[in-house]
Every structure is written in C-alpha cells, then in structure tokens.
Chain A
C-alpha cells in the first residue's frame, strides 16, 4: 500500500560488533579499557621479547660477571646498558622480565586450554549421558573443589616429579606446570558446561537431530557444544589470571620453572634470596609486572562477566 519501505543494507560484521551491547559497554567502562590496553602491552612485550630484549638471558656467553648486581640505570652506580639493573648472575633484569613474562603467559594460556578441554569434555559427557558417569565425574569434581587449588597443583606437580627422573626435571618443568595447573582448574568448566548441557538436551532441536539419526557423539559435538560455549569465555578469562598466579606461586616455591629458565615467579624467588644484601630491584620489578598482569586480567574478566550477564543490563 505504501512505498515507505526502506532498503536495508546488511551491516558488515565489524559494524555489528561495534554496535553490539558488549562493545557499547566496553566503550563506557574505564576499567575495561585501561586493563585491556595494559594486557595488550604485556602480551606484545611477551610476544616480541626476543626483539625488545637487550640480551638473551638463556645465553651464558652474553653474560659478564663483572656486571652482576648492578642497580637500575637511574640510581648511583647503575649502568645505562642495564635499564632495570642486573641480578647476581649478571643477567639484565629488563630482558629476564620479558622472557619470564613470555614463559608465564605460555604456561597460563596452555594450562587454561588444557583445563577448558578437559572440563568441557567431561561436563558435556556428564550432562549428556547422565547416570553413573555423571555421578562419578561430579563426585571427583566435588572432592577436587573442596581442596585449595594450590594444594592440588602442588600434589600433581609432586607426582610428576616423582615419576620423572631427576635429570629431566628442568626440561620437563614447563609441561609439568601446565599439567598441574590445567588439571586443577577444569572443575569450573565442567560444572558450567554440564548445567547448560542438561538444559540444552531437553530442547527440540536436539530431539530433531536424534530423530534424524544423528549419533550421540554427533549431537554432543555438533549441536550442543556450540550452544554451551558462551560462559566458557568468561571462565577462561578469569582462569587465566588464576593460572598465571598459580604458576608464579609454584615457581616461587621452587617447584616450578628452574633458575636457568626463569618465569616471573622464579625471578621473584631469586630476588627474595638476595633481599638482605639490599638488592631490592631483582624482587620488586618482576613483582610489579606480575601484579599488573594479574590485576589487569582479573579486572577484564570481572568486566566481561558483568557485560555478558543479561541480568545486569
């Protein structure tokens, strides 16, 4: 009757993202913006560590023992070549922190990935199959959850160390850490995914797929999985902060990364041993970077949780 119908152009994916609720929320939130900028800087620093560093802290031939225990460049006795000072092995602290940050983030991401894969699989399986399988998975999860994460991680770590011969400890340290932290943190994913799976299982599209003769495995992976992944992103973000912190704690306790391949936690442990000689910089600078990283990831995770929660909109 009327010809006022407008021609609608489908907006590009980028425009839609820009106009979405989450993006709008992001533009309004100071904490989200500041923490994501900080995270981007730290990620870039870790990614390009070999380019940004002034020396390779793993390469002993680049170390000059005469330059050990130098204070930061702006303090009396500092050397401009070593901006943040050096440790007792004459490693440039600035370079060590970049490489350490890299290791901390690698362990963090890998263990989050491991926890997510284990947790999602078990949650999906438990929620879909139900019965005994579900009961067994959830009892294990309950028991695991009743112990503090650091204790479980230490235990897995200790078992792995006991299984491996002592001479392999240093090489395997990074894998042991990923395993220990990953196996500690899967419970949250499993619980969340299980809950949503049990809801999705009842829905009509699943019944339709079943009538069409899709196998149980096919329904789980192709139909239910994409619909239960939403909350996983939030858990993964918050978990990354936890994982980085756990790695730092284990390395600080001396059961994580070895001194020859220091992560941020190892650097803090090394610095702690020299605290009384007045060498404060070896302990302070890695701590500042660690705290900044964990705080930024946690703030972003908190924001993401609120932004994606429809109840709070």
Chain B
C-alpha cells in the first residue's frame, strides 16, 4: 500500500513537471507580449522598459528557473491583456467554477445512481426504455446545443430562469458564493443541468450495466435462496459492489467536468475560470493560459491520485494482492 502510494505520487510529480515544461515553452515561444502592451508609436526605450518590467530581457535559463520557483508559489506574473496579476484573476474566478462543477457533479450522482438502479431492476418497463432513449440523445447532443436549447425553452419562451451570469452573490471571506441568495440559486439551475447531463447519462448507464452484472452473480442468488427481501438484496448486497467502478469513473469524469465547464461558462456567460481561459486563448494571453493549465492539471492529478488510493481502500482484493506482492 505504501509502495503504491509512493509510486503514484512520483508519477504525479512527473506529470506536473511535464505540464510546467509545456507552460514554460509557451512563454518562451509565443509572440512578443510587449507589442500588445504598448502603443503602436512607443519608442524603443518605452518598449525596453516594459520588457524589463515583465522580466523578458533575462537569459532563458534564468527565466525558466524563475518560472518554476514562482509557479510553485502560485505566482504566474501579470496578464498580458489587462496587466493584472494572474493569480488574482484566477482567485476571483475560482469560486464560480467550483460551485458550478460541484453542483453538476452532485446532480449527476443524485439522479444518475437511482435512475441506473431503476433501469437495471425493471429492464423491460416503459420508463426504462424511455430513459435509455433519452440517454442516447443526451450523449449524442453537443453540450453547447443542449445549453442553447435550455436557454431557448426556459429563458426565452417560458421566462422562468435567468440565462446568464450568477445572479446576486454574497462574499464569504474571499469566496463569493451564489448559494445564499434566491437569484444565485436560480442562476445555477440551467448551467448545472447542462453541465451534468453528459455525466448523468454516463453514470446511469454504468450503474445499470454494473447492477445487471452483479444481479447475475452467485452471492445474489444465494441471498435470494436465504429468503432475504428484494429490498435488502438490491440496496444492501448488490449496490455496494455496483458502486466501486462508479467511484472511479466519477472521479475521472470530475476532471472532464472542469474542462466542459469552459463551454457551459461561455454559453451562460458564467464568470468562471473557463470563460477567463477562453478569452486568454483568443487573445493569446500566455500567462493566463499557462496558469489555468497548471492549476487544472494540478486538480486533475490530485483527483486521479485520490481515486486510485480510494479504490485500493474500497476494494479489498487490491489490498490483498498488494500485500502478496510485497511479501
């Protein structure tokens, strides 16, 4: 177990170093930020002053060393676009994305698991067939099309829910939350539904497939033979073994949610990190792109490592094999 833990952490550090290298290469090889920050008519002296202020006059290895040291402390310098510290920009935007992703992830679990169980227990009922068809459509529709349809129906035609922004937010320390006001909660509904749909169908299908697999195993037959109630068999005996793969996939997909939040944030003009990243991409704003890349990679790596470790904790077979290999 300890060896496994150490191996996983070394692997994670390697991935982060690779990502940092890509981020640094972006700084090194992408256009001259000075041109975009000074006026067209600026003199050479003015340009050199800006260049010096941004630290671009130093030799390459110094820049690289400084980059890694600064990145470790969360300092990615100034945005080329509006000359504000990148870390401040990201910190302002982080709560919006975090709340959106967490609500979407929660929704996909809360709805996906019961629906998966339902469709597995009643494979031939009408509701199952309808849900299966809907999940096929859910997987095939591009997410931004789903978002636009949601806006068209619920905002434009019915006028029930807001179609952009976060509503009124309340500052709790540095964290601005939309959970505490009615307009904040209403603004969350459509974006989180759009973001969770793909995840929801995935979890539903996975739970269904796993559940049907588990229900065919001998220990379930034995539990039936012992005269246990269906309720106890399905929810106590079968569900436990169904959920192990669900946790893995859910963890891996959490990273996907952060990436797809870029699209959701664009559709709903949600003031999160993804929207910031898209602006950075279209303007070629390297510091923001690099910082977003490093931050998101860090979140990915942490999630993936946690899921792997959790998996080892939850599945006793892995522990036994690990122990045997150690002997």
Contacts and interface: CB of A to CB of B under 8 A. Distances in A.
Interface in B138-168: 140-145, 148-149, 151-152, 156, 163
Contacts of A295: 140
Nearest to A248: B142
A163 B29 contact: yes
A147 interface: yes
B298 interface: no
A9 interface: no
A146 interface: yes
A34 interface: no
Interface in A122-149: 143, 146-148
Interface string A265-280: 0001001100110101
A12 B269 CA distance: 60
A253 B293 contact: no
A254 to B, nearest CB: 6
Interface string B162-194: 010000000000000000000000000000000
A151 B296 contact: yes
B71 interface: no
Interface stretch (A181-189, A200-208, A286-294): A286-294
Interface stretch (A21-29, A77-85, A154-162, A232-240): A154-162
A138 to B, nearest CB: 13
Q: Taking chain A's interface residues, is the majority helix, strand, or loop, or is none over half, making it mixed? A: helix
B111 interface: no
Contacts of A278: 156
A176 to B, nearest CB: 11
A148 B260 contact: yes
B260 A255 contact: no
Contact of B300 (A146, A157, A284, A287): A146
B262 A158 contact: no
Given A155-B289, A163-B31, A268-B148, A147 B300 contact: yes
Interface residues of B, number: 42
Interface stretch (B206-214, B221-229, B277-285): B277-285
B293 A155 contact: yes
Contacts of A155: 22, 281, 289, 293
Contacts of B134: none
A248 B282 CA distance: 16
B222 to A, nearest CB: 31
A78 to B, nearest CB: 19
B263 A150 contact: yes
A272 B142 contact: no
A188 to B, nearest CB: 17
Interface residues of A, number: 39
B37 interface: no
Given A163-B30, A249-B142, A143 B15 contact: yes
A291 B263 CA distance: 17
Contact of B145 (A148, A150, A291, A298): A291
Contacts of A254: 266, 278, 282
A158 B280 contact: yes
Contacts of A150: 259-260, 262-263
Name, among A146, A154, A287, A290, the residue most crowded by chain B CB atoms within 10 Å (CB to CB).
A154
A253 B31 contact: no
A253 B266 contact: yes
B277 A276 contact: no
B318 to A, nearest CB: 20
B304 interface: yes
A59 B48 CA distance: 44
Contacts of A163: 29-31, 284
B266 A146 contact: no
- In the A-B complex, the 10 residue pairs with the closest CB atoms: A162-B284, A162-B30, A158-B281, A148-B259, A151-B259, A161-B284, A287-B145, A295-B140, A252-B144, A148-B256
Interface of A: 143, 146-148, 150-151, 154-155, 157-159, 161-166, 245, 248-249, 252-255, 268, 271-272, 275-276, 278, 280, 283-284, 287, 290-291, 294-295, 298
9 contacts: A150-B259, A150-B260, A163-B29, A163-B284, A249-B143, A252-B144, A283-B152, A290-B142, A295-B140
